[in-house]
Amino acid sequence: MSKKPFEFIKKKLNRSSIILSLTLLFVVLVIAVGFIVFRFNILRYNVQSEDREYDKYYVMITDNYKSDFWQEIYKGAFDAAKEQNIYVDLLGDDLPTQYSCEQLMKIAIASKVDGIMVYANESDEMTALIDEAIGAGIPVITLYSDNTHSKRISFVGVGSYNIGREYGKQIINIINDKHKAMDEDGTRLGEDEINIAILVNSDAKETGQNVLISAIKDAIDKENITGSKVSFSIITVNNTNAFSVEESIRDIFLADDIPDVIVCLNELNTVCAYQALVDFTRVGEADILGYYDSDAIIREIEKGTVYATVDIDTKQLGEYCISALSDYYEFGSTSQYYTADVKLINKYNVDEYHKQKEAEQDE
């Protein structure tokens, strides 16, 4: 008996199975997206967790909503918006899966929110999404990282040059400390070349980062009275996820020679850097300049693991976002740039920092 009829039936069944599987997958995706859109539309003016209706519904989008840095920015925006009867949602915070900023942008646009605050980048996809939101009548604020080619209504961030200048001053202090130190043979340290490594994310393309690095170099050129030789290296950190960041930074400490100074430009890189320094028992071989004033980073300053850190006024960043959106709705325009305050914390002023924090909490 011929096998052809059976082969034909088998192929037909396989084809049917594939079609059925694809259909089920499509249905699941449609249901999932529909649920998300439905949920956000419900939340638009009536937040279920509170017996209160709001006039507007804004969303904040970031790549790392669990970090203390972004939680503080969100709190600043949430409190400022609440005074105007506006609700702000940290988009993705309560979703079961972690989505990229681009994916969250699509959800926000589909949900027809009243305003978007997004940690942007210079990718073509992000530009297109911001322009799509603007075209749909949704004002977009780029937050902390800009997309200069888009139609965003405003950028809220920090002064890259000011931060770079503060880092540069601390590097000069480190160089001076090395000149004061004496090794076992009585030779002054610091006479050899000082290697400074600046950690940059793999997806970083914004000009602000270039400005910051230039400011570091300018500050060192002006203040380097010892005449020490200084070299710079840019180390790219794979920031696809927290694990890849950790792996990229740990690779630095696997080398025989590690940089004299490691400059971290965000909270996660700072945490991974000082943890690697401890794990590889290389404390004292490198000075870490960190970013943000989380409790953990401040403790490392007190222990001497981190030399200094930049303190960003996160509350102010959040408040400025709401101010920009409010100005847009009230006047039809807004200031193009909002810059939050920054200051530096090191072992010399950490006690003063604690006193100031306690005073703020008492208020």
pLDDT at 38: 40
Beta strands 52-53 and 46-47 are antiparallel
pLDDT of 313 higher than 60: yes
pLDDT at 33: 57
Indicate the helix (H) or strand (E) that contains 231: strand 230-237
pLDDT bucket at 216, cuts 50 / 70 / 90: very high
The C-alpha atoms of residue 63 and residue 5 are separated, in whole angstroms, by 55
The C-alpha atoms of residue 264 and residue 275 are separated, in whole angstroms, by 13
pLDDT of 208 higher than 80: no
If one looks up domain 160-312+344-362 in CATH, what number appears?
Answer: 3.40.50.2300
pLDDT at 268: 92
pLDDT of 223 higher than 80: yes
pLDDT bucket at 333, cuts 50 / 70 / 90: confident
pLDDT at 36: 57
Domain ranges of the chain: 25-158+315-340, 160-312+344-362
The C-alpha atoms of residue 166 and residue 171 are separated, in whole angstroms, by 9
pLDDT at 31: 43
Please give the backbone phi and psi of residue 163, each rounded to the nearest 5 degrees, phi first. Answer: -65, -45
pLDDT at 26: 58
CB distance 315 to 72 below 8 Å: yes
Q: Which of the residue ranges 53-57, 64-68, 91-95, 224-228 would you say has the lowest mean pLDDT?
A: 224-228
What would the mean pLDDT of 222-235 be, rounded to a whole number?
83
Q: What pTM does this model have?
A: 0.76
Q: Tens digits of per-residue pLDDT, 166-187? A: 999 999 999 888 777 645 455 5
pLDDT at 27: 47
CB distance 349 to 166 below 8 Å: no
CB distance 188 to 262 below 8 Å: no
The C-alpha atoms of residue 209 and residue 207 are separated, in whole angstroms, by 5
Q: Where are the alpha helices (DSSP H) in the chain?
A: 4-43, 68-82, 101-110, 124-135, 160-180, 207-223, 242-254, 267-279, 295-303, 314-331, 350-362
- Name, of 60-69, 99-108, 176-185, 209-218, the range with top average pLDDT: 99-108
Q: In CATH terms, are 25-158+315-340 and 160-312+344-362 the same topology?
A: yes
- Nearest residue to 306 via CA among 282, 281, 274: 274
Architecture of domain 25-158+315-340: 3-Layer(aba) Sandwich (3.40)
Please give the backbone phi and psi of residue 124, each rounded to the nearest 5 degrees, phi first. Answer: -65, -35
Give the single-character DSSP code of 48: T
pLDDT at 204: 65
Structure tokens of 80? 């400022």
pLDDT bucket at 34, cuts 50 / 70 / 90: very low
pLDDT bucket at 340, cuts 50 / 70 / 90: very high
What would the mean pLDDT of 110-132 be, rounded to a whole number?
95
Q: Tens digits of per-residue pLDDT, 76-104? A: 999 999 999 999 999 988 777 888 999 99
Q: Which of the residue ranges 199-203, 207-211, 357-361 would you say has the lowest mean pLDDT?
A: 207-211
Q: Tens digits of per-residue pLDDT, 129-161? A: 999 999 999 999 999 989 999 999 999 999 888
pLDDT at 283: 92
Q: Which of the residue ranges 40-54, 262-276, 292-306 would you say has the lowest mean pLDDT?
A: 40-54
What would the mean pLDDT of 64-87 be, rounded to a whole number?
93
What would the mean pLDDT of 1-28 be, rounded to a whole number?
56
Q: Which residues contact 27 (CB under 8 A, 6 or more apart)?
A: none
pLDDT at 202: 79
Q: Which residues contact 224 (CB under 8 A, 6 or more apart)?
A: 172, 175, 230
pLDDT of 229 higher than 80: yes
